[in-house]
């Protein structure tokens, strides 16, 4: 049964939320029923979004629903929440990842963790599914033949590899380059989400169906996933962050697939042109 709060209690809750916000704590989880305002005749029922807005008046906070008065069972804040800049925040996420053994990929022949590379303030981010042999050897995503093609795609958009940020859904090479399994993606992808949340790109391009399905939590064929933008806020992103309200996400073919079926390059170029238009990018001049 919903718990009713009188105005004094609501004010006290709001103050407490601000207190936690100022400590850098934004993530709360819910236990029990959602709270509604007193529903007596003199006091209109306050919807949860209205209550949330009131509680977040001074600073951003993601609060799914306000809960019973022992609501403040607080999740451990992420180390990067207090970071001064995105480069430091990424470093803190990498440190938090450590010599990760969270999923079984750590014991299936990986040489190293492939965290991600690029501009910590990138407006454009590419996300693939996982490292291959070259990436595993070099510790950097998209450095093999598929990486060369991705570099060419980036150049064709009028950018350099150093301008964007590149990462994968899983950070350890699946043996034999198999598709990462669901539990592996679910275990690893929160780190990717945290990377996206600190980089705050304008556009995320999902390279291939595995990346698209994991980022969007949609199970659909590429033919349905491509050709449009999705509004994307990574899990853990702050819905009322004044500096970033999420990215647009586009889906295109994985470069490794394009190497196998070059006839689809034209379709991929259409996807990239959609992104270029949104970002105001132009292809480089022929003699550039």
Which residues make up the interface to ligand SF4 (CB under 6 A)? 97, 100-103, 105-106, 113, 170-172, 184, 187-188
Q: Which residues contact 128 (CB under 8 A, 6 or more apart)?
A: 141, 142, 166, 167, 168, 169, 207, 208, 211, 254
Buried b (16+ CB within 10 A) or exposed e, 246-270: bbbbbbbbbbbbbeeeeeebebbbe
117 - beta bridge partners? 166
Residue 184 CB, nearest approach to ligand SF4 (Å): 6
Nearest distance from C-beta of residue 167 to ligand SF4, angstroms? 11
What minimum distance in Å lies between the beta carbon of 250 and ligand SF4? 24
User: Which residue, 24 or 175, has its beta carbon nearer to ligand SF4?
Assistant: 175
**For residues 119 and 189, which CB has a smaller minimum distance to ligand SF4 in the complex?**
189
* Contact in structure between 235 and 157 (CB atoms under 8 Å): no
B/e letters for 84-103, b = 16+ CB within 10 Å, e = fewer, are eebeebbbbbbeebeebeeb
**Choice between 176 and 266, CB closer to ligand SF4:** 176
Closer CB to ligand SF4, 113 or 256, in the complex: 113
- Distance of closest approach, residue 237 Cβ to ligand SF4, in angstroms: 20
**Minimum CB distance to ligand SF4, residue 139 (Å):** 12
CB nearer ligand SF4, residue 124 or residue 170: 170
Identify the DSSP state of 31: -
């Amino acid at each position: 049964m919903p718990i009713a709060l009188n105005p004094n209690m609501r004010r006290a809750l709001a103050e407490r939320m601000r207190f936690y916000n100022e400590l850098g704590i934004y993530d709360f989880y819910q236990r029990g029923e959602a709270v509604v305002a007193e529903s007596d005749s003199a006091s209109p029922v306050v919807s949860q979004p209205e209550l949330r807005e009131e509680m977040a008046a001074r600073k951003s906070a993601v609060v799914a629903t306000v809960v019973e008065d022992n609501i403040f069972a607080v999740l451990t804040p992420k180390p990067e929440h207090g970071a001064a800049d995105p480069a430091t925040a990424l470093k803190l996420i990498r440190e938090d990842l450590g010599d990760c053994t969270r999923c079984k990929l750590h014991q299936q022949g990986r040489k190293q963790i492939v965290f991600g590379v690029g501009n910590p303030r990138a407006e454009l981010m590419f996300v693939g599914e996982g490292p291959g042999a070259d990436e595993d050897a070099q510790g950097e995503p998209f450095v093999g033949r598929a990486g060369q093609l991705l570099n060419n795609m980036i150049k064709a958009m009028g950018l350099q590899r150093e301008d964007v940020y590149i990462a994968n859904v899983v950070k350890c090479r699946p043996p034999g380059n198999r598709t990462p399994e669901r539990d592996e993606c679910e275990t690893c992808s929160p780190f990717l989400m945290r990377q996206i949340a600190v980089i705050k790109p304008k556009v995320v391009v999902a390279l291939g169906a595995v990346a698209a399905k994991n980022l969007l939590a949609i199970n659909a064929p590429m033919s349905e996933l491509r050709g449009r933008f999705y509004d994307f806020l990574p899990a853990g992103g702050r819905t009322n962050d004044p500096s970033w309200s999420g990215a647009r996400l586009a889906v295109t073919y994985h470069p490794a697939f394009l190497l196998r079926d070059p006839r689809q390059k034209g379709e991929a170029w259409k996807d990239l042109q959609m992104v270029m238009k949104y970002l105001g990018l132009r292809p480089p001049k022929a003699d550039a």
